């Protein structure tokens, strides 16, 4: 855990701490819930992050038509025409009668739990502005500049994210929308809890810097400002002021202009964003002195540090994140904070620094941050970063739109990648409200509003209450992500049953992920019966020596068990790591099954999906061909994983599980147990060399050593299921049969042997 530069280069591009590392838990945790270990992030750094009800949508290109189609009258919810009033009251009573869809949140996975019910009034196709609630929309923004300019800000306050007209409309919308009501209550509750806490205590967390401090203070300032504006009670302004004074006091960090820790620029980004919102949302409440203090703090500790950083963007300097190649969270969060700080103080400060910053941050963010998504909607630096990266991107975009009337291509520029902002995988980040609205995807909004992290001030203003329907209605169960950088497939048996089956497998290139990936071609996960049967170990210790420095074949990163191929659910040849130069190809098929309007879904008997990949290029010259595939059989109740491989060296299939594993005497099948559920694992058509064994999730004794200072993290409770095979041409078929309640022995199927190259939707019907 050393922050000694000898072991960890604090200035390295990817090295100086990542946003999610938490020294206290050892896990990465998502914003804004940094105190909680969310499951999808815990399993996170590998590309394969999947939870049972993860919304994997995508496929439809965004369009701008939506905003033009909407017909919210200028008076919106406050419409006083008899028709408007009657319609609003009618629509409000319908929405309030339906209420919030989920009945609870799963305590382990933090997933919404849906009632088992059909509700024809509510669970209809996702749409905006149906006639039944057209009067319950946001009014149109009165600020519509004909030729927007980044330095021509609206004349009224607030400028950032939530202009005055939205605050005026909000109480009526809260009264008519059950989601807004719950979120408003939660934000008030959270703000009250923060109110009663002491001001945030300074804590320098090794290579993660003071990012935790910055995010906590930003979260509090937003909540205090929100509650003040909803109550006019100045005690919230006073509490915000205490937090501000603390974060600029002599004893908080360095007593000079590096107070907000610009060597780890994410910290500056988050502090500056928090101060910008406090300055702007509480503008009319601050005295001139207070305004002056906040403004000079934004300039001294934020914008000036931005100028210094951007002046030197080489990989060893503070400004490395500014380079156009840095697609991802660092570019998004750093540029967003600087942009928000500049927009907040523009015209109140005549030094020119705000204008100068805006001229620098926008081009960088459009070129880099906005390309954090690959063309299929996955996140280049792996899915765990979708949350942090998109939050920076969404706050910057929303601030530009509200303050100046345009997003300047942040949302939909010329590159196809930009349109792909629509989605990622476990895309529960509140930016989805903004994206769903902008790209005309009501299902994004309907999905996100049920997620545990939805209650947050941004959501109050990004959520479009004219949305209606159920996200799952008509939604395909399968989705395939085909960008060569981020290929993966996601297949499931329901969108609304937390006990559903879910499988996913990945390929994708092993470089150019901002050094956040693993050597994990063919890695897969499986959920069923409310449990994760095969999963990921997640990130290692972010302070490990040279953990982020390189993704070359000989990089130290690949010494660590959680990053090595043996630490994945993958196949090893001769116990070697996969080759970083791999260039996999994929193939897939789906019955195109979509869920209907009910939360109760019965999978049709011919419903299936498969995903295969050629990953021979990830192995050395001893392996002359290698295809891996995964599929559902038996109406998505069973799963087949298959490896068709020819190699001159011995091979080992490995998969990591939390289950208790009992291998039968033949060595060709095993029973896995989690809680009261069991899953049968069987090798189909085994050759005599194929034998199952189990072991702990630790490195091989003959692996090259990690640096002595950076041992592997323990993986308590995890067992590796191994199947050893001799050299030769092999087809290893592993059938996974969850013992679903109510299924009898005769309900399970044993599929025929079919070479991976011949897999089709019907190839396994027997």
Residues that bind ligand NAG (CB under 6 A): 33, 39, 42-43, 71, 73, 108, 171, 174, 184-186, 188-190, 193, 230-232, 254, 256, 258, 307-308, 311, 532, 534-536, 574, 576, 591-592, 620-622, 649, 656-658, 718, 761
Provide DSSP, 174-220: HHH-HHHHHHHHHHHHHHHHHHTSPPPPP---GGGTTHHHHHHHHHH
CA distance 7 to 543: 8
Q: Which residues pair with 113 in a beta bridge?
A: 104
Nearer to ligand NAG, 318 or 423 (CB): 318
* Count of Cβ atoms closer than 10 Å to residue 587 Cβ: 16
The least distance separating ligand NAG from the CB of residue 565, rounded to whole angstroms, comes to: 13
The least distance separating ligand NAG from the CB of residue 409, rounded to whole angstroms, comes to: 27
Nearer to ligand NAG, 230 or 732 (CB): 230
Nearer to ligand NAG, 143 or 260 (CB): 260
- The SS3 assignment for 113 reads strand
Nearer to ligand NAG, 117 or 311 (CB): 311
The closest alpha carbon to 305, from 279, 330, 271, belongs to 271
The least distance separating ligand NAG from the CB of residue 269, rounded to whole angstroms, comes to: 18
* Count of Cβ atoms closer than 10 Å to residue 175 Cβ: 15
The least distance separating ligand NAG from the CB of residue 436, rounded to whole angstroms, comes to: 21
Nearer to ligand NAG, 36 or 750 (CB): 36
Nearer to ligand NAG, 348 or 620 (CB): 620
Token representation of residue 566: 């043996």
Nearer to ligand NAG, 46 or 372 (CB): 46
Nearer to ligand NAG, 118 or 762 (CB): 762
The closest alpha carbon to 254, from 267, 241, 243, belongs to 267
The alpha helices in 368-430, defined as continuous H runs, are 386-404, 416-419
Nearer to ligand NAG, 48 or 370 (CB): 48
| Upstream peptide bond of 400 is cis (omega within 30 degrees of 0) | no
Q: At what angle do helices 211-231 and 265-281 cross, to 10 degrees?
A: 10
The least distance separating ligand NAG from the CB of residue 685, rounded to whole angstroms, comes to: 27
The least distance separating ligand NAG from the CB of residue 640, rounded to whole angstroms, comes to: 19
The least distance separating ligand NAG from the CB of residue 184, rounded to whole angstroms, comes to: 4
Nearer to ligand NAG, 135 or 340 (CB): 135
Nearer to ligand NAG, 372 or 442 (CB): 442
The least distance separating ligand NAG from the CB of residue 35, rounded to whole angstroms, comes to: 7
The least distance separating ligand NAG from the CB of residue 592, rounded to whole angstroms, comes to: 4
The least distance separating ligand NAG from the CB of residue 57, rounded to whole angstroms, comes to: 15
Which residue sits closest to ligand NAG, CB atoms considered? 535
Nearer to ligand NAG, 675 or 742 (CB): 675
**256 CB contacts (<8 Å, ≥6 apart)?**
none
User: Which residue is associated with the tokens 């009573």?
Assistant: 93
The least distance separating ligand NAG from the CB of residue 120, rounded to whole angstroms, comes to: 25
**81 CB contacts (<8 Å, ≥6 apart)?**
none
SS (H, E, C) 555-609: CHHHHCCCCCHHHCCCEEECCCCCCCCCCCEEEEEECCCECCCCCCCCCCCCCCE
User: Is residue 130 within 8 Å of 139, Cβ to Cβ?
Assistant: no
CA distance 752 to 534: 24
CA distance 369 to 364: 7
Nearer to ligand NAG, 123 or 560 (CB): 560
Q: At what angle do helices 164-176 and 82-98 cross, to 10 degrees?
A: 60
The least distance separating ligand NAG from the CB of residue 309, rounded to whole angstroms, comes to: 9
Fill in the DSSP letter of residue 21. Answer: B
Nearer to ligand NAG, 370 or 697 (CB): 697
* Count of Cβ atoms closer than 10 Å to residue 194 Cβ: 21
Q: Report CA dihedral (409, 412, 413, 416) to the nearest 10 degrees.
A: 160
The closest alpha carbon to 130, from 357, 377, 442, 518, belongs to 442
User: Which residue is associated with the tokens 């929405």?
Assistant: 95
**686 CB contacts (<8 Å, ≥6 apart)?**
668
Nearer to ligand NAG, 231 or 249 (CB): 231
The least distance separating ligand NAG from the CB of residue 562, rounded to whole angstroms, comes to: 11
The least distance separating ligand NAG from the CB of residue 670, rounded to whole angstroms, comes to: 15
Fill in the DSSP letter of residue 323. Answer: S
Token representation of residue 588: 């897939």
The least distance separating ligand NAG from the CB of residue 52, rounded to whole angstroms, comes to: 11
CA distance 662 to 660: 7
User: Which residue is associated with the tokens 């914003």?
Assistant: 31
Q: Which residues of 97-124 are buried (b: 16+ CB within 10 A; e: fewer)?
A: eeeebbeeebeebbbbbbeeeeeeebbe
The closest alpha carbon to 20, from 491, 548, 394, 475, belongs to 548
Nearer to ligand NAG, 122 or 572 (CB): 572
CA distance 606 to 209: 53
Nearer to ligand NAG, 600 or 674 (CB): 674
The least distance separating ligand NAG from the CB of residue 278, rounded to whole angstroms, comes to: 17
The least distance separating ligand NAG from the CB of residue 187, rounded to whole angstroms, comes to: 8
User: Is residue 510 within 8 Å of 578, Cβ to Cβ?
Assistant: yes
Q: At what angle do helices 235-247 and 178-195 cross, to 10 degrees?
A: 60
Provide DSSP, 465-501: TTEES-TTTT-BS-EEE--TTT-EEEEES-SS-TT--
Burial of 535 (0-12, 13-18, 19+ CB in 10 A): buried
* Count of Cβ atoms closer than 10 Å to residue 497 Cβ: 19
């Amino acid at each position: 855990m050393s922050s000694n530069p000898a072991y960890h280069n604090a200035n390295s591009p990817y090295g100086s701490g990542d946003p999610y590392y938490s020294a206290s838990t050892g896990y990465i945790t998502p914003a804004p819930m940094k105190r909680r270990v969310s499951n999808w992030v815990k399993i996170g750094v590998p590309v394969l992050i999947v939870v049972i009800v993860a919304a994997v949508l995508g496929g439809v290109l965004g369009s701008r038509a939506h905003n033009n189609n909407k017909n919210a009258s200028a008076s919106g919810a406050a419409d006083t025409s008899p028709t408007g009033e009657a319609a609003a009251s009618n629509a409000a009573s319908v929405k309030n009668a339906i209420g919030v869809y989920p009945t609870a949140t799963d305590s382990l996975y933090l997933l919404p739990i849906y009632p088992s019910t059909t509700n024809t009034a509510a669970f209809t196709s996702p749409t905006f502005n149906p006639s039944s609630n057209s009067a319950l929309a946001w009014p149109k923004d009165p600020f519509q500049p004909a030729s927007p300019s980044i330095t021509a800000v609206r004349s009224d306050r607030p400028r950032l994210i939530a202009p005055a007209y939205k605050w005026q409309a909000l109480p009526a919308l809260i009264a008519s929308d059950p989601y807004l009501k719950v979120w408003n209550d939660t934000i008030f509750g959270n703000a009250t809890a923060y109110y009663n806490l002491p001001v945030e205590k300074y804590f320098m967390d090794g290579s993660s810097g003071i990012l935790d401090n910055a995010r906590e203070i930003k979260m509090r300032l937003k909540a205090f400002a929100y509650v003040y504006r909803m109550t006019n009670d100045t005690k919230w302004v006073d509490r915000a002021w205490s937090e501000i004074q603390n974060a600029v006091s002599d004893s908080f960090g360095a007593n000079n202009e590096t107070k907000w820790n610009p060597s780890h620029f994410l910290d500056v980004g988050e502090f500056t964003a928090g101060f910008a919102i406090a300055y702007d949302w509480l503008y009319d409440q601050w005295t001139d002195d207070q305004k002056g203090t906040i403004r000079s703090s934004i300039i001294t500790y934020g914008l000036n540090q931005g100028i210094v950083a951007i002046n030197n963007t080489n990989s060893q300097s503070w400004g490395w994140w500014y380079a156009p190649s840095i697609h991802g969270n660092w570019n998004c969060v750093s540029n967003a904070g600087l942009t928000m700080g500049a927009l907040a103080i523009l015209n109140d400060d005549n030094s020119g620094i705000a204008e100068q910053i805006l001229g620098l941050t926008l081009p960088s963010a459009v070129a880099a941050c906005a390309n954090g998504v690959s063309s299929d909607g996955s996140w280049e630096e792996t899915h765990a970063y979708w949350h942090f990266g998109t939050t920076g991107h969404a706050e910057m975009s929303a601030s530009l739109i509200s303050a100046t009337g345009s997003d300047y291509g942040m949302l939909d520029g010329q590159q196809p990648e930009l349109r792909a902002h629509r989605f990622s995988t476990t895309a529960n980040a509140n930016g989805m409200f903004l994206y769903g609205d902008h790209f005309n995807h009501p299902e994004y909004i309907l999905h996100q509003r049920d997620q545990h992290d939805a209650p947050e001030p941004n959501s109050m203003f990004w959520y479009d209450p004219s949305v209606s329907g159920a996200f799952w209605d008509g939604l395909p169960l399968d989705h395939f992500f085909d960008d060569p950088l981020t290929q993966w497939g996601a297949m499931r048996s329901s969108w609304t049953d937390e006990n559903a089956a879910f499988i996913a497998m990945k390929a994708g290139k092993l470089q150019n992920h901002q050094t956040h990936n693993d050597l994990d071609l063919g890695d897969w996960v499986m959920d069923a019966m409310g449990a994760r049967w095969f999963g990921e170990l997640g990130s290692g210790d972010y302070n490990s020596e040279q953990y982020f420095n390189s993704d070359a074949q000989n990089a130290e990163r690949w010494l660590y068990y959680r990053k090595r191929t043996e630490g994945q659910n993958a196949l090893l040849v001769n116990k070697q790591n996969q080759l970083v130069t791999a260039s996999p190809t994929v193939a897939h098929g789906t019955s195109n099954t979509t869920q209907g309007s009910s939360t109760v879904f019965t999978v049709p008997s011919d419903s299936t999906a498969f995903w295969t990949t050629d990953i021979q290029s990830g192995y050395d010259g001893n392996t002359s061909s290698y295809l891996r595939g995964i599929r559902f059989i038996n109406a998505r109740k069973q799963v087949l994983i298959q490896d068709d491989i020819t190699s001159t060296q011995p091979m080992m299939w490995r998969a990591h599980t939390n289950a208790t594993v009992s291998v039968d005497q033949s060595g060709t099948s095993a029973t896995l147990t989690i809680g009261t559920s069991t899953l049968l694992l069987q090798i189909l058509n085994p050759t005599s060399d194929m034998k199952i064994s189990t072991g702990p999730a630790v490195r091989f004794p003959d692996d090259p050593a990690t640096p002595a200072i950076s041992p592997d993290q323990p993986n308590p409770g995890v067992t590796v299921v191994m199947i050893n095979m001799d050299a030769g041409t092999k087809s290893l078929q592993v059938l996974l049969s969850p013992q679903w309640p109510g299924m009898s022995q005769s309900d399970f199927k044993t599929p025929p042997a079919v070479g991976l190259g011949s897999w089709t939707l019907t190839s396994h019907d027997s």
